[in-house]
Structure 1
Amino acid sequence: MDPALQTMISNMPEKTGKSLEEWKKILNAKSFSKHSEAVSYLKKEHGVTHGFANTIVHLSKDEGTSSADLLSAQYKGKEHLLPVYEKIRDMVSSLGNDVTITPKKTTVSFIRKKQFALVNPASKTRLDLGLKIKDKPTTARLENSGPFGTMCTHRVRLEKPEDVDDELKSWIKEAYENAG
């Protein structure tokens, strides 16, 4: 399991008042047709912060599917791109202990109070990193959000670990800071 996710799960009882298993029981007693409805319910009815609510809902839906399983499925046939993802993940984790890393079926979200970055193994040769940085002009490298739509404001295409350079790190840090 991703270390950041494990830390979040371990901190859940202290931060939310219940363990992940207790939250899963609460959600399983309800019937939500959409992910956002379940997140909203946890936030409004139980005062759970967005990062925890989002993670609880994802983990309750993905019963039997661990973060490692989700990542393995995303990178099947694209294993050479995992070092790029890992470099991004490690850099994001170093920004603060308020970061939630949430693997999903096709992407990994990086959340502070709200999502600020998203990684998608877009093809056999590259990852797309979506960033949410309002009012930031696009450049040749920092493109418009493309396939991410409104989830992000920008996209950066990455092919190798060296692409996670100081310029990219500064954009990720800016997105992180804006999400607080």
Structure 2
Amino acid sequence: MSFQAYLDNIKAKTGKTPEDFRAEAKAKGLTQYGELMSWLKTEYGLGHGHANAIAQLIIHNAADKLAKVEEATGLTADDYRALAEQKGIAGYDDLMTWLKGEYKLNPGQANTIAQLILYSGEGTAPAAGKAAQVDPHFAGKKAGWRATYDALVAAAGQFGDDVALAPTRSYISLTRRGKKFAILDPATAERFDVGLKLKGVAPDGRLEAAGSWNNMVTHRVRLGSPEAADEELVGWLRQAYEASV
């Protein structure tokens, strides 16, 4: 779905254009992301993806940034989305690195493109993760970990409606508003790795330092059986989620 088609869906649902939302937000004195999201969801019944798109347009003047990016690179937001899908780049951090490195976008431009890639697709809830990208992780002998993965995703989905999946070829990220807070990786038939972004938390017991395993997270928990995906692990996932604001 193109970004314009996404905006058309919002207009069909609410009868309002981005300019209408911007004018109304200004009249109400709404300028912060959190209050804009709450207003858009409560008053207009928008889902997280739709609300995020409008909030980005209001706060970051995304329309002007997109025009400047297209002028400088010749690529639209939809072009970047297609390229990201081809390359298997899905998480916020990975998108930012790619956009700034390969296309020399400044942080504001890269953030706008990354947010639109992440939240103008088919859905943002964990269940909306693309099966074609998730299923290969559980092929063959790793199939035994699928129930564990599903249970962890379901638990994370209870944290808030801003939790989304970002599958890549290497692992599946859990993100909040586009920011990665955890990694789910069925590494082998005998081990399932969970990466957690918990800055400032000392490693303790099975909550190991991630070290060189993955520099996108700070800690790793190695599961040797489905039973190891317990309440303690879900608690760490929640802690990482809450710290990702």
Q: Give the counterpart letter for 1:104 in structure 2.
A: T
Q: 2:221 is matched with which residue?
A: 156
Unaligned runs of 5+ residues in structure 1 are: 1-9, 60-65
Contact 1:84 1:159 in 2 (8 A): no
1:104-123 aligned at under 5 Å gives the runs 104-113=168-177, 114-123=179-188
Q: By how many angstroms is 1:134 displaced?
A: 1.2
RMSD: 3.5
Whichever of the two has the greater Rg, that structure is 2
Asked whether the equivalents of residues 118 and 130 of structure 1 are also in contact (C-alpha less than 8 Å), the reply is: yes
1:176 Cα shift? 0.5
Residue 45 of structure 1 and its aligned partner are, at CA, apart by 3.5
Which residue of 2 is the match for residue 133 of structure 1?
A: 198
Deviation at 1:46, TM superposition (A): 8.3
- Which residues in structure 2 correspond to 1:72-87 (within 5 Å)? 72-77=135-140, 78-87=142-151
Q: Secondary structure at the match of 1:148?
A: coil
The whole-number CA distance in structure 2 between the counterparts of 1:144 and 1:111 is 20
Q: Which consecutive unaligned segments of at least 5 residues does structure 2 have?
A: 1-46, 58-75, 88-93, 123-128
1:99 is aligned to 163
Q: Hey, what does 1:38 align to over in structure 2?
A: 99
SS of residue paired to 1:100: strand
How far the C-alpha of 1:54 sits from its partner, in A, is 5.5
Taking every aligned residue pair, what percent have the same amino acid on both sides?
A: 26
CA deviation map 1:53-101 (0-9, x unaligned)? 4636999xxxxxx821222211111100111111110111110011121
| One-letter identity of the residue aligned with 1:69 | A
Report the counterpart of residue 70 of structure 1 in structure 2.
133
SS class of match (1:156): strand
**How many equivalent residue pairs?**
158
Distance 1:42 1:75 in 2: 37
Q: Is the 8 A contact 2:77 2:117 kept in 1?
A: no
User: What's the offset of the Cα at 1:104?
Assistant: 1.1
What SS does the corresponding residue of 1:150 show, helix, strand or coil?
Answer: coil
Partner residue, 1:5: none
3-state SS, counterpart of residue 170 of structure 2: coil
Q: 1:153 to 1:97 in 2, by over 3 A?
A: same
CA distance in 1, matches of 2:121, 2:171: 12
Q: Whose relative contact order is higher, 1 or 2, with alpha carbons under 8 Å and at least 6 apart? A: 1
Question: Displacement, 1:24?
Answer: 2.3
Q: Tell me, in whole angstroms, the C-alpha distance in 1 between the residues paired with 2:77 and 2:196.
A: 30
Secondary structure in 2 aligned to 1:110?
strand
Question: In 2, are the aligned partners of 1:130 and 1:148 still within 8 Å (CA)?
Answer: no
Summarize the Cα distance change of 1:175–1:127 in structure 2 as closer, same or farther, 3 Å threshold.
Answer: same
Higher percent of residues as helix:
2
Whether contact under 8 Å (1:42, 1:53) holds in the other structure is no
